[in-house]
Amino acid sequence: MNPNEVIRADAVTVRYGRKTAVDNLMLTVPRGSVYALLGRNGAGKSSLVRCLLGQQKPAAGAIELFGQDVWRRRAELMERVGVVAEDADAPPDMTVAAMARFCGSLYARWDGNLIDARLRRFGIAPSSRYGDLSKGQKKQVSLALALAMAPDLIILDDPTLGLDVVARKSLFSEVITELADRGITVLITTHDLAGIETIADRVGIMKDGRLILDDEMEAIKARFRRIRYAAAPAAVDATVLAPAAVRAWGSGSEAIVTKYDELAFERFRSDANVIAAEVSPMSLEDIFIAVAGEGAE
């Protein structure tokens, strides 16, 4: 076991009949990090999350949490894992206080004071009926319950889905950052790329069941660039910057490069006598579309 790894997926494959949802996937999540797992709908994220939680056994490969096989040791390991599901649910007439009492009976490390403080911070009364809460409040209750068990790892499955801008900002800027500061490892699946961009330490992008990109956030943003040329597209093909995509841009061309190196580009610009070239950084959303969008290779 590597003590710095909380999650390790080793050649994980998930199949549903003839369909392969996760294809020989390798993944590690370092301790204390915020890892964003991204992908379009159908990319295999949900299948992988179910395997991470020991809810589904892979067709091949294995997953370890804290160095132990999650399928064999699920009951023990789930004591250390908090979960906020995409569609958190509870009986509509059940009060938040009753939910807390029920969950508290299940976990040895339950901290009732923590959930009380979190609910006060969210402005949610313990006497509130679950069915009367807004979608954002339901997510906040789920998060408060997940944190009250004092987890070492928390898995957030698309937690901002359906939330308004204010609720999303609250979750990302206040909650996830606090988790990271306290040393809790976070794995989050999300479509809110702008929100996660300033928070995630590491990013994995899935496409067709494969992990096609897995690196530290800053490293990814450093090596991806958009280069726009006033010249013909042929000039782009001669670069050594590994263009991921080249397309027409006005009377010139635009290249998305995945291994940008400023010195290499300046040498190319000088040798090829390329004068009109505009180099600009890319947002995480731009990078995602380039590598996982329709038509991306």
Which pLDDT tens digit goes with each residue over 8-58?
999 999 999 999 999 999 999 999 999 999 999 999 999 999 999 999 999
% of the chain beyond a pLDDT of 90: 57
Per DSSP bridges, beta strands 153-157 and 81-84 are parallel
Beta strands in the chain (DSSP E): 5-16, 19-30, 34-39, 60-65, 68-69, 81-84, 153-157, 185-189, 202-207, 210-216, 225-229, 243-249, 252-257, 277-281
Q: Give the pLDDT of residue 47.
A: 96
Q: Which helix (H) or strand (E) holds 288?
A: helix 284-292
Q: Give the pLDDT of residue 63.
A: 97
Q: Give the pLDDT of residue 241.
A: 59
Q: Give the pLDDT of residue 242.
A: 61
Q: Give the pLDDT of residue 3.
A: 73
* Tens-digit pLDDT profile for residues 130-180: 999 988 889 889 989 999 999 999 999 988 887 888 888 877 777 777 777
Residues 266 and 139: their CA atoms lie apart, in Å, by 49
Average pLDDT, the chain: 87
Q: Give the pLDDT of residue 248.
A: 65
Cβ neighbourhood burial of 73 (10 Å; 0-12, 13-18, 19+): middle
Return the bridge partners of 81, or none.
Answer: 153
Q: Which of 71-75, 111-115, 161-165, 174-178 has the highest mean pLDDT?
A: 71-75
Q: Worst-scoring range by mean pLDDT, 16-20, 256-260, 287-291?
A: 256-260
Q: Give the pLDDT of residue 89.
A: 82
Q: Is a pLDDT exceeding 70 seen at residue 71?
A: yes
Q: Give the pLDDT of residue 179.
A: 76
% of the chain beyond a pLDDT of 70: 88
Q: Are the C-beta atoms of residues 153 and 185 closer than 8 Å to each other?
A: yes
Q: Given pLDDT bands bounded at 50, 70 and 90, which one contains residue 297?
A: very low
Q: Is a pLDDT exceeding 70 seen at residue 243?
A: no
Residues 172 and 277: their CA atoms lie apart, in Å, by 36
- Which residue type, as a one-letter code, is found at position 244? A
Give the pLDDT mean for 188-215: 93
Please tell me the pTM assigned to this model: 0.88
Q: Are the C-beta atoms of residues 214 and 220 closer than 8 Å to each other?
A: no
SS3 of 74, please? Answer: helix
Residues 221 and 93: their CA atoms lie apart, in Å, by 47
Cβ neighbourhood burial of 133 (10 Å; 0-12, 13-18, 19+): middle
Give the pLDDT mean for 273-293: 85
Give the pLDDT mean for 249-270: 76
Q: Worst-scoring range by mean pLDDT, 134-148, 247-261, 273-287?
A: 247-261
